[in-house]
Amino acid sequence: MKSLLTNLLLSLFFTSSLLLQAQEMPSWNAKISVAPELQKTFAKGGRLLLHFSKQNQKEPRLGSDFTVGFTPRDWDGKEAFALDSHDTGILSSGAFPSSGKMFCQVVYKHNLDDAQENAPGNWYSNIDSLTQTSKEIFRLNLNKVIVPAIIPEHKFVRTIEIQSKFLSDFSGHPRYLEASVLLPATYFDHPGQSYPICYRAPGLNGRFTAINNKLQDKDFMKWWFSGKAPQIIYVFLDSHGPYGDTYQVDSENNGPCGKALTEELIPAIEKMVNYNPASKKRYLTGMSTGGWIAVGLQVFYPDLFDGTWSYSPDPLDFEHYGLINIYKDETIFYNRFGFLQPGVRTIYGEPTRSMKDWIQGENLISRSGNYLVSGGQFGAYNAVFGPKGKDGLPSLMFDPFTGKIDHEIAKQWGKYDIKKVLEKNWSTLGPKLQGKIWIWTGDMDGLYSNVATRFLKMFLDKTENPKSDASINFTPMAGHCEEWSDEDVLVMVGEKAEGKSTAK
């Protein structure tokens, strides 16, 4: 009875929120057309995202004040699509500029192999402007294509792209694996030498083109070639997938991503750079989502990797998924005291975004109208951790509009719950993980992920046969990823490769 009453109240709250949103939605009309040269590659069912901004210092699609999402089901792209603020099915977020001039831009998100809005192949328009008092229909023309980022040629940089047989067979069409490699300063001085190798897992939806950030960092590059940097091959992985970040693990929805990484991509990279697997100097690192990947790969492939350095990892214990216990809580939108569940905070503990608002944002950008294929954090979680649904798409662990948790699905997430995996298999995993785990996080992590890391540490501190020697450190008053430094990680990896202590 309590559960029924809770669900009724949540449904009433959601309905009233929609009505309020509709009342507050300003009136506007838009016509969106496709440039003739793009019409031949039009894909039905993509998501239109209209971005409005009060300033024009940057493109609205890269940061807007107000965003509208809508999926036109029967549009073929040949005629302009008419959209107005009163259309059923529109979702919005942010504050529509109340007066004066504003700038607008539209994106058509239709790349089914990459769920991100600014993914290669998606279309966008020029920037237009209008005034709040204007009664005219504003017109936007999809005439530009987002192109892939380019890694510049550099003597010490290698890129690799291979077609994955495992993922292609799973999906029924070609899928590719990519990575970029930064070679150590002495690489060409010692032909044939095998260097230690470190795989850097990206943050959420990160790309192998992240190497560009290091190439453009003058201080880092000066250090890399100064003779002070450890001589390590540094590999930048790519985690893009059809539903967002793949977390580099096998899943029912993304396919055998872990198998593809460990049996296809890594052997190809190591052959290219002449790494000798017998040296046992293959390491992992990453922050945020990459921090989870770094721990997850070390745990799921304990014999393949020889050490991991993880910073501010996503929740490693699903009983503390931020502040949510996915196995017992009724909803992710409200805590057990009836208050809105916070999802993001400052280092002083001030909530800045609720879980309800977070999911509303993912519902907005998804062509399904819910977070199912949003490409965002929770769209990715569902695809990675959850089972495939009856419609062939990822299942939903919680209702996108009430937050109600489906505990049958949540239970199936358990095989990716790092703490549960370790608890269940410590007698076999424990010995293989000795001397291989280092984790750092801020004790005021902005996503509350430090809570799960605390409980993982509590478990590891109590282990026996063997007693875990994992190093898990918390920095007071530090936020999400504040501790991260490529240089610090590489120094510790170098010390590990040389057999020295890596305690910091």
Report the pLDDT value the prediction gives residue 503, as an integer from 0 to 100.
53
Report the pLDDT value the prediction gives residue 96, as an integer from 0 to 100.
76
Mean pLDDT, residues 219-223: 98
Q: Which residue blocks in 34-107 are alpha helix, DSSP H?
A: 36-39
Which residues have CB under 8 Å from 10's CB, separation 6+?
331, 333, 334, 402, 403, 404
Q: Are residues 391 and 421 in the same domain?
A: no
**pLDDT grade for 24, boundaries at 50, 70 and 90:** low
CATH of the domain at 300: 3.40.50.1820
Q: Are residues 44 and 74 in the same domain?
A: yes
**pLDDT grade for 133, boundaries at 50, 70 and 90:** low
348 domain-assigned: yes
Is the model's pLDDT at 26 over the cut of 70? no
Distance CA 303, CA 277 (A): 11
Q: Are residues 132 and 53 in the same domain?
A: yes
Q: Are residues 94 and 195 in the same domain?
A: no
Report the pLDDT value the prediction gives residue 134, as an integer from 0 to 100.
61
**pLDDT grade for 377, boundaries at 50, 70 and 90:** very high
Report the pLDDT value the prediction gives residue 159, as an integer from 0 to 100.
98
Is the model's pLDDT at 10 over the cut of 70? no
Which of 53-57, 248-252, 438-442, 473-477 bottoms out in mean pLDDT, i.e. has the lowest? 53-57
Chosen domain end from 97, 122, 145: 145
15 domain-assigned: no
Is the model's pLDDT at 144 over the cut of 90? yes
> What digits encode the pLDDT tens for the residues 315-341?
999 999 999 999 999 999 999 999 999
Mean pLDDT, residues 10-26: 44
> What digits encode the pLDDT tens for the residues 415-445?
999 999 999 999 999 999 999 999 999 999 9
| Beta-carbon-side half-sphere exposure of residue 381 (alpha carbons within 13 Å) | 23
> What digits encode the pLDDT tens for the residues 153-165?
999 999 999 999 9
Report the pLDDT value the prediction gives residue 17, as an integer from 0 to 100.
43
Is the model's pLDDT at 185 over the cut of 50? yes
370 domain-assigned: yes
Q: Are residues 226 and 240 in the same domain?
A: yes
Mean pLDDT, residues 112-127: 92
CATH of the domain at 128: 2.60.40
**pTM score of the predicted model:** 0.92
State the total domains in the chain. Answer: 3
Find the domain containing 100 and state its range.
23-145
**pLDDT grade for 177, boundaries at 50, 70 and 90:** very high
Q: Are residues 387 and 436 in the same domain?
A: no
Task: Find tokens 């109340």 and name the residue.
Answer: 98
Is the model's pLDDT at 502 over the cut of 80? no
The rounded percent of the chain whose pLDDT value lies above 90 is 82
| Beta-carbon-side half-sphere exposure of residue 105 (alpha carbons within 13 Å) | 22
Report the pLDDT value the prediction gives residue 130, as an integer from 0 to 100.
76
> What digits encode the pLDDT tens for the residues 277-297?
999 999 999 999 999 999 999
Q: Are residues 329 and 232 in the same domain?
A: no
Sequence-ordered strand ranges (E) for 164-253 = 176-182, 197-201, 233-237, 250-251
Q: Which residue blocks in 59-191 are alpha helix, DSSP H?
A: 165-171
Look at residue 111 and give its three-state secondary structure: coil
The rounded percent of the chain whose pLDDT value lies above 70 is 92
Show the CA angle centred on residue 245, arms to residues 369 and 161, nearest 5°.
125
Report the pLDDT value the prediction gives residue 142, as an integer from 0 to 100.
97
**pLDDT grade for 299, boundaries at 50, 70 and 90:** very high
Q: Are residues 256 and 215 in the same domain?
A: yes
